[in-house]
Amino acid sequence: MAKLDNGASILLSVMPEGIGDLTFGSKEWVAVASDEMSRAVKKHEQGLKDLGQFTLCEVAHNPPAYLHSGNKLAWHAKFLNDSVEVDVGELSDDECDYKMQGDHSVISNFSRILNFGKDPDLVIAAQARLSRLSRWELHGEMTDHPVLGVVLRSMHDAMAYRTMPRFTFMTPEWVSSARYVLSSRARSEKYSDSIKDIQYTFSEEFINTPSYAFPDGSHGGFWARFDRGEVAVGAGPLPDSLGPADQLTKGEYVPVVPVGRTVNAAMTEDEKAEQASYSKLAFRADKDSGKSPVEQSFPSGKKEMPVELARIFAPLHDELSKRTTGELPVDFDQNIESRWSEPQLFDRPADYDPSWLRFDQVDIYGTPR
């Protein structure tokens, strides 16, 4: 793990363990948030009796495409002294005392930051970083009522454990979700005994990464080393000291993004056909070199992954896709090869609006480009 002055580590250090199970703003998320808000209001009801009316609304643009929920998700809460109603949907500006709009992926990660139990300086640093990533539209003002502030922060922290983060494809933070999925399954009672004698190293590495996501020009990817029941998962190329990999996928970053973040279980038949058409063109071998933009090999000679490990990897693709951001490199870099530059409907809806992200001005760590 990098030092705590690294943007990735600061953000992860103020989030709870795990990877959540609910998409911010979804009906399922709002239902749980309603319960948590009611619980916090009940706990502090005496201090809320002088609140009066207060209505807030949060709107998250560009939610995950697999939900097929349109180009935004929203929720709102209506307080009247010591009572509250929480529901799905956007309210008009005139109906709100405070309304906030931003990019869904950034809001999701904001919602994972814990207010309590973490170093306040790190919390402030993580919040400052995320605040620079999205375009924001704010209406009205948040109340300064001290008890309502406690209620909102309590509800926020309860939902932090349930909210799924959304990280940029193949970045170190994205890999942290892969680490959690693979390590949890490898340690589980269901699978641990079956891999106790297996040694196998899996690696994916992608070159020509976008500068907003990899400002140092590093390659994207991750590796997983299974050694007699123990597992280590790292970001980036496999270190030479751990090579050669038993299974290696290596190639161009840009064409992989659309197919690398589809939730296969949620795809329609039309989306599957669109993906097949895209893949045929995007991964066509170069006429001169005969090389495909992405190739798979087995450097160690072990060949296919043991079936016992394949079971551990089985849900990884979809679970990571649910937690991946929706931008494309072409949104912020016009020098993309034409066959990789057209957004695909199987990957994200036509009304996706890249202007909610500021990656033309800052990188994912909030540093000016």
Q: Report the percentage of the chain scoring pLDDT > 70.
A: 98
| DSSP-derived secondary structure letter, 266 | G
Q: Cis (ω within 30 of 0) for the bond into 237?
A: no
Instruction: Indicate the burial class of 102 (C-beta count within 10 angstroms; 0-12, 13-18, 19 or more).
Output: buried
More confident residue, 334 or 300: 300
Q: What pLDDT sits at residue 265?
A: 97
| Contact of 143 with 54, CB cutoff 8 Å | yes
The span from the CA of 340 to the CA of 338, in Å, is 5
Residue 2 has pLDDT above 60, yes or no: no
For the chain, give every domain's residue range: 7-160, 172-356
Q: Which CATH number fits domain 7-160: 3.30.1050.10, 3.30.2020.30, 3.40.50.2300, 3.30.360.10?
A: 3.30.1050.10
Instruction: Give the residue-averaged pLDDT of 117-136.
Output: 96
pLDDT per position as a tens digit, 199-221: 999 999 999 999 999 999 999 99
Q: What's residue 24's pLDDT?
A: 98
Mean pLDDT over the full length of the chain: 95
d(CA 210, CA 254): 8
Q: What is the mean pLDDT of residues 68-87?
A: 97
Question: What mean pLDDT comes out for the span 275-299?
Answer: 93
pTM for the complete prediction?
0.95
Give the pLDDT score at 9: 81
Indicate the pLDDT class of residue 7, thresholds 50, 70 and 90: low
For residues 106-128, average pLDDT: 96
Calculate what percentage of the chain has a pLDDT beyond 90: 93
Neighbour tally for 120: CB within 10 Å: 10
For the segment 234-254, the average pLDDT, to the nearest whole number, is: 97
The pLDDT assigned to 219 comes to 97
User: Strand 220-227 to strand 53-61: parallel, antiparallel, or no bridges (unpaired)?
Assistant: unpaired
In this predicted model, what pLDDT tens digit does every residue of 159-197 receive, in sequence order?
999 999 999 999 999 999 999 999 999 999 999 999 999
Question: Which one, of 343, 338, 333, 320, lies nearest residue 363 by Cα?
Answer: 333
Q: What pLDDT is attached to residue 225?
A: 98
* Whether pLDDT at 8 is above 80: no
Kindly give the interhelix angle for 146-160 and 27-43, rounded to the nearest 10 degrees: 140
Distance CA 140, CA 293 (A): 50
